Chains A and B, each alone.
Chain A
Amino acid sequence: MKKLKVIAAMSGGVDSAVAAARAVDAGYEVVGVHLALSNNPQKYRSGARGCCTIEDSHDARRAADVIGIPFYIWDMAEEFHKGVVENFLSEYQSGRTPNPCLRCNEKIKFEAVLDRAKALGFDGVVTGHYAITKDGPNGKTLHRAADFEKDQSYVLAVLRTDQIEGAIFPLGDTVKTDTRKEAKERGLFVANKPDSHDICFVPSGDNAGWLRERLGSETGDIVDEAGKKLGEHKGAYTYTIGQRRGLALTVPDPTGEPRYVLKIEPKSNTVVVGTHQALAVKTIVATPPTWCGPVPELNKVLRGFAQVRAHGLPLACEYKFDGTNLIANLDEPVFGLATGQALVIYDNDRVVGSGTICETI
């Protein structure tokens, strides 16, 4: 039988290096590809924080050489800028809080890269994500990783079934410490490279500053729920729903309770604050839904778990698909939920689907 050919997306980190090595062991014909995501990689030289520095591309190449696979750099800077960076900015401009890693998986790794790989005659894309795919009667389904702490199924829940078909996650059954140990045993020097946590295209790690530079810092009002002005801010988009610190309010709350960001109104450049209780959300509406497996029956109320943050806890809920939106009713309220984040629905460990949160009630 002819070997299956796959592209291993190699960021220069430990996870993708071990994933590529395991794909080779599993019998795939593997070609390593590092994605250049910045228009000017040299600029990020000293950073080494994200996935687009010269150091990272060098690390990825070195890992590919040690594993013994061909290695190429694919320039995805334009696609990344359009699909991820511009989306990130426009979401903030609209008062929402986006998750760029989801967009990158959706638009870059499992769309631009997978499409290109298929056109070139490859069968799929290998990444170092911690998630599991299982073969089912109606095709592959997406599941949580064995290591809940590292589970990345949340950021993969934007993948359609055809994308999941082409995705291979060799680390799904592994805990991170084992990945590092294995990297060491395989002679991959990236074994001790720290995890990346920041947004890769914000090399300084200063998200608010980065947004201010691009979106300006127009002063606006901070008001209470009745509309009474309590203070001023420099750019509404640098705030996140549920945020408590950094408000610098001059008028104390009459009850003495701390105040939180409840709402961001980009048109009037206003930040609305209120009590913790006012942050409570029971119903979440998300759109457009992406199904990672079979599409749920229309308007049928089902039991499952909702997750609203990358490393958040699963929240017991009832959910349904009304033909347009994915709607979740939580058993217990959740506090401080920003629109723009993803709602991901699980059926135990299986990812049912996801949508971008557009309304919270």
Chain B
Amino acid sequence: MPIYFDHAATTPISEVAISALNNQIKKLGNASSLHSAGRSVRKDLESAREEIAKAIDCAPSEVIFTATGTEANNLAIKGLYWKAAKSNRNVIITSTFEHHAVMDPIAWLAEHENAQVININVDRNGFILMDELAQAIKDNQDKVAFISIMHSNNEVGTIQDIAKVVKIAGDIPVHADCVQSFGKVALSFKDLGLTAATISAHKVGGPLGVAALILKRGLDIEPILHGGGQERDIRSGTFNAPSIVSFAAAAKESVAAIADRDKKVRALKSELIQTVKKNVSDAWVNGDQVNCLPGITSITFPKTDSEGLLLLLDSEGIACSTGSACSAGVQRPSHVLLAMGLTEDETTSTLRFSVSHSNTLTEIAKLGSVIASVVARSRAASGKK
């Protein structure tokens, strides 16, 4: 059995989610139809919406289902921007180390829609500089369309103080990409005071191809997909009821288990880090180790080459991940690690391990038994001095 340390990429679908999916997919009916078959599916769908709302502590009407987290981020970012641009607010404040699904739609708005972008820097531990944020807001009074800062980072796992961001923001809408945090740490949309948040099913044991934008009640933003207007006229497309119902089942299970799993997963991660350090004395961990997700860790193996590390670990039956790759599959230095102050060479010597409650100490011991020789070979192949 391969050893899977890549749960931040995607994680196994849970039994409750499989069973919910299996039951729902057999049911006939379009949730938008008015006849009894439609009504029956609609009922299931709305129950699922209530379940998701409960899981992230928002009102059911604030849940807008989308196909992916990327779509939800695009909808939030473009929608909020187009709305604000009508009242001449064209400044977007974000951070230097967002996920591409946030960074790229913002870059698109800068290129095509006259958006002015301010990137708030992060420190070596992966926290955004709050003073810089406050200054940026002050310097651009009445001009800021919205702020988008990720709740936790997908490569290093640091958790931002989003409540503080919202406080500094005042009346300015704040969007947070919560894809990695949801179902892993306690999260309240209401308490954080967010305007918009993105969550995704397949990171919490739900199926691929379903996600949600949580969008404050009463706020109408421009859609990016036009059609039947199924979701508050903000998102169109036939409801994917089986996946949504399955998403709700997985979310409910994950959120209920946060406390238990948090303890177990943090212990596993800590064991993994210790095991690696014991075998590779100069390896180091990136990002804050206190305010962080339980399962994600980013480890730099100096003078190696992450492509080589990945290949060798894969051939030992161990799955983990490198930073980002371009569309042709070529490894690129991680913008996240660069933003945190690592050199280009260091970013391409780094692996992300993301563990879940399903991992075991035996699996970590197996990693420990091969990591030294894997690192030695990768060093020889990297040519880094």
Q: Which residues of A contact B (CB under 8 A)?
A: 31, 34, 36, 41-42, 53-54, 57, 61, 70, 72-75, 77, 115-116, 119-121
Contacts and interface: CB of A to CB of B under 8 A. Distances in A.
Contacts of A74: 307
B380 A73 contact: no
Given A70-B315, A116-B308, A120-B308, 10 more contacts: A36-B328, A54-B328, A57-B328, A61-B329, A73-B328, A73-B331, A74-B307, A75-B330, A119-B377, A120-B378
**Interface-centre pick from B311, B314, B325 (highest chain A CB count, 10 A):** B311
B381 interface: yes
B312 interface: yes
B326 interface: yes
B331 A75 contact: yes
A120 B328 contact: no
Interface string B353-385: 000000000000000000000000110110000
A84 to B, nearest CB: 17
A186 B251 CA distance: 43
B308 A41 contact: no
9 contacts: A34-B329, A36-B328, A41-B326, A54-B328, A70-B314, A74-B307, A75-B330, A115-B381, A121-B377
B328 A31 contact: no
**Interface-centre pick from A31, A61, A70, A120 (highest chain B CB count, 10 A):** A120
A72 B310 CA distance: 9
Contact of B311 (A31, A36, A77): A31
B281 interface: no
A75 B308 CA distance: 11
B327 interface: yes
A70 B311 contact: yes
B328 to A, nearest CB: 4
The 8 closest A-B pairs by CB, nearest first: A119-B381, A41-B328, A73-B329, A119-B380, A36-B330, A54-B328, A75-B330, A116-B381
Nearest to B378: A120
A27 to B, nearest CB: 16
Contacts of A120: 308, 311-312, 377-378, 380-381
Interface string B252-268: 00000000000000000
Given A72-B307, A74-B307, A120-B308, A42 B315 contact: no
Contacts of A115: 381
B149 to A, nearest CB: 29
**Interface-centre pick from B311, B328, B329, B378 (highest chain A CB count, 10 A):** B328
Question: Interface residue tally of chain B, by bracket?
Answer: 10 to 19
A131 B350 CA distance: 39
B329 A57 contact: yes
Interface of B: 307-308, 310-312, 314-315, 325-331, 377-378, 380-381
A121 B312 contact: yes
B327 A36 contact: no
A129 B173 CA distance: 60
A23 B310 CA distance: 23
A203 B228 CA distance: 44
A70 B328 CA distance: 16
Nearest to B325: A73
Contacts of B310: 72
Nearest to A36: B330
A359 B21 CA distance: 75
Contacts of A77: 330
Contacts of A53: 328
Contacts of B325: 73
A116 B310 CA distance: 14
Contacts of A121: 312, 377
Contacts of B331: 73, 75
A122 B378 CA distance: 12
B315 A31 contact: yes
Given A31-B311, A31-B315, A70-B311, A42 B328 contact: yes
A36 B329 contact: yes
A282 to B, nearest CB: 45
B326 A72 contact: no
Given A70-B311, A73-B325, A120-B308, A41 B381 contact: no
Nearest to B305: A116
A54 B311 contact: no
A42 B311 contact: no
A162 B369 CA distance: 33
Given A116-B308, A119-B377, A42 B329 contact: no
B6 to A, nearest CB: 15
A270 B217 CA distance: 76
Nearest to A53: B328
A42 B327 contact: yes
B102 to A, nearest CB: 21
A115 B381 CA distance: 7
Nearest to A55: B328
Given A119-B377, A119-B381, A121-B377, A73 B330 contact: yes
